Amino acid sequence: MTASSQLHAEICVRFRHYLSGKSTLEQFREWFDVETWGLAAEPDSPLRRMAGTIELRLAEFTNGHLTEEDLRSLLQALVQREPVNKS
């Protein structure tokens, strides 16, 4: 498994932990920010697009454009449509 696919899988796992209540949004954000730092500067990839979508949704929530319920719903939809890349 490549580093990229490992990070992709870990994002999905950590997402699901947040969505199921095993971790808080703050815990997810702290982990996500550290692990995806610099990803935007890398070449386009499914991982980069997924991380960018997550970052956008978190920013919308932080700025008051989404409720936490809205955020959870959008993130749930993202995780459901994102297969874990095993290559």
Give the pLDDT of residue 23. 95
pLDDT string in tens for the chain (87-residue length): 788 889 988 998 998 899 899 999 999 999 999 999 988 888 888 899 999 999 999 999 999 999 999 999 998 888 776 554 433
* Rg, C-alpha atoms of the chain: 12
Give the pLDDT of residue 79. 78
Give the pLDDT of residue 5. 84
Percent helix, strand and coil across the chain, each rounded to 5? 70, 0, 30
Give the pLDDT of residue 41. 84
